[in-house]
Amino acid sequence: MFKKILIANRGEIAVRILRACREMGIASVAVYSDVDRTSLHVRHADEAYPIGAATASESYLNIGKMLDVARRSRAEAIHPGYGFLSENPQFAQACADAGVKFIGPTAAAMEMMGSKTRARQAMQAAGVPLVPGSARGLELGEMARLAGEVGYPVMLKAAAGGGGKGMRLVRSAGELESAFQAARSEAERAFGDGEVYLEKFIENPRHIEMQVLADEHGQTVYLGERECSIQRRHQKVLEESPSPIVGPEMRRQMGEVAVRVAQAAGYTNAGTVEFLVDQQKNFYFLEMNTRLQVEHPVTELITGLDLVHLQVRIAAGERLPFAQNDVLIRGHAMECRIYAEDPDNNFFPSPGRITLLLTPAGPGIRRDSGMYEGWTVPLDYDPLLAKLIAYGTDRQQTIMRLRRALHEYFVGGIKTNIPLFRRILRDPEFAAGKIDTGFLERLLARPEADPVRKDHGPVAAVAAGIFALLDSSTGGSPVSPARNGASAGATQGATWKQVARQEARR
């Protein structure tokens, strides 16, 4: 087993991995950019090293600096987390060349699955069900012919894509040329690769993924599915496991296909095979994420397994300590991604200092977080602050526990998307499991049932400040409306205070 691991990441995932290292008796090494000097992962680590400016290319994406820290700290392995260098085959190969174990798949497996077109070609040869479309990037003329064959609408996708970049929905032939140019241009800017391919667009699909684990001795298992259909602009927002529509037989079929995908790629360590599922419950291979997923905690809760522990053990050469028949799914889990962004202002990022933090707890609640009261959220990186996860015996109990926890959660000083999750969890269609990848767009297009609620935040902030000032000026004793010149009587003041206290509890 390794004695020391470097975590090539930041934020909540770095804290998550550091905790696993401590549980396993492994020393941890953190890295940080200039703006992350006071971040939580730096405080938790056994050692911490600066790696440069806030710009990711000068710090968290700099392979040379990461390997230099590994050498200076004498770390034997590097865990990349997710994002940044986690799916970079050059980094995986550079680690191997430097004699440092990369906790993830090989560079060759990452290369194969990192390109959507190469992955489609390999999966087609392996007999994996695919969405009709092209197995390689196409020029405009070829794309127009294929689109006519498979029928509109179609989806254009960047071969090297991810996170919704380089994707365009085309509903008619007249839209194809402009969408093609836009997708190729965006893909080139985002990934340095303008290759674009085509897939038939599946109307109102569900996005369901399967967690797989593979050791370095030839054993591969699947750990159940995750429902990831609650998305905004192709970015996951809320995930749950198991899926409301997947039964034991469908789970077995999807799991066996996912194992076949991993084995065809020569894959080792933790990975996720993603599927689109149509309204008839037919499923199609979409892509494979060659890393630990943001939503891995929901799988941990329903299986009782620690995926980070298993990642480390696999990388250290150990065999999986269980077989497929040993994997049991119990209960239901659901995760909310808490972002520093303002849902009422087109989800605009909301960096700044966290002035007050009230965190949820109680039965069935887990919180993976990278923030603390007094910390300043930087503008330079993805705005993910924390993940709030609930576990229950069934989906209904999980939803109610998560609703309760969200009402206990309060982050002062910045905007977050916590109110959005309260709205999602109150929605009758969500409660009934009637969701697809267009659910959130439809929800946001509808007016809220209680529009006054969304205005409570600013009112509460002003009210809380006023009452804090009044309380301090009177030694904490009650202040009558008359003493403060309030001609409207006590009712209005009481309402303000009630709203302020209500929001503070949240």
Active site residues: 291
* Cα dist from 71 to 5, 28, 312, 321, whole Å: 11, 14, 19, 31
Cα 208 to the chain's mean position, in Å? Answer: 14
Sign of the CA dihedral with 288 first, then 293, 296, and 298 last: negative
* Whether residues 367 and 475 fall in one domain: no
Residue 111 in any domain: the answer is no
* Whether residues 83 and 188 fall in one domain: no
Mean pLDDT for 12-27 is 98
Last residue in a domain, options 179, 200, 221: 200
* Whether residues 218 and 192 fall in one domain: no
Q: Distance (Å, rounded) from C-alpha 255 to C-alpha 261?
A: 10
Provide the domain limits for residue 21.
4-103
Percent above pLDDT 70 for the chain: 88
DSSP 245-295: T--HHHHHHHHHHHHHHHHHTT--EEEEEEEEE-TT--EEEEEEE-S--TT
Question: Is residue 457 predicted with pLDDT exceeding 90?
Answer: no
* Whether residues 287 and 318 fall in one domain: yes
CATH number (domain holding residue 68) = 3.40.50.20
Question: How many CB atoms neighbour CB 70 within 10 A?
Answer: 24
Residues 6+ apart with CB under 8 A from 319: 215, 217, 219
* Whether residues 386 and 466 fall in one domain: no
Residue 214 pLDDT: 98
Last residue in a domain, options 144, 172, 200: 200
Let me know: does 245 contact 204? Beta carbons within 8 Å: no
* Whether residues 24 and 154 fall in one domain: no
Q: Distance (Å, rounded) from C-alpha 458 to C-alpha 453?
A: 11
Question: Is residue 502 predicted with pLDDT exceeding 60?
Answer: no
Nearest CA among 293, 380, 225, 384 for reference residue 80:
293
Residue 118 in any domain: the answer is no
> If pLDDT is split at 50, 70 and 90, which confidence band does 161 have?
confident
* Whether residues 211 and 186 fall in one domain: no
Q: Distance (Å, rounded) from C-alpha 330 to C-alpha 101?
A: 34
Residue 396 in any domain: the answer is yes
* Whether residues 196 and 210 fall in one domain: no
* Whether residues 402 and 464 fall in one domain: no
Last residue in a domain, options 103, 121, 143: 103
* Cα dist from 321 to 76, 213, 271, 325, whole Å: 23, 11, 17, 12
- Write out the H or E segment, with its range, that includes residue 150: helix 140-150
pLDDT for 219-274, tens place per residue? 999 999 999 999 998 899 999 999 999 999 999 999 999 999 999 999 999 999 99
CATH number (domain holding residue 295) = 3.30.470.20
* Whether residues 30 and 151 fall in one domain: no
Exposed e or buried b for every residue in 15-28, given b needs 16+ CB within 10 A? bbbbebbeebebbb
- Write out the H or E segment, with its range, that includes residue 381: none
- Write out the H or E segment, with its range, that includes residue 155: strand 154-158
Residue 108 in any domain: the answer is no
- Write out the H or E segment, with its range, that includes residue 497: helix 490-505
Residue 110 in any domain: the answer is no
* Whether residues 169 and 224 fall in one domain: no
Residue 125 in any domain: the answer is no
* Cα dist from 334 to 296, 391, 495, whole Å: 11, 7, 34
Nearest CA among 340, 338, 335 for reference residue 383:
340
Residue 127 in any domain: the answer is no
Question: Is residue 8 predicted with pLDDT exceeding 90?
Answer: yes
CATH number (domain holding residue 179) = 3.30.1490.20
Q: Is residue 137 classed as helix, strand or coil in its secondary structure?
A: coil
* Whether residues 189 and 93 fall in one domain: no
Q: Is residue 354 classed as helix, strand or coil in its secondary structure?
A: coil
Residue 478 pLDDT: 42
pTM of the model: 0.85
> If pLDDT is split at 50, 70 and 90, which confidence band does 483 have?
very low
Number of independent structural domains in the chain: 4
pLDDT for 68-106, tens place per residue? 999 999 999 999 999 999 999 999 999 999 999 999 999
Residue 376 in any domain: the answer is yes
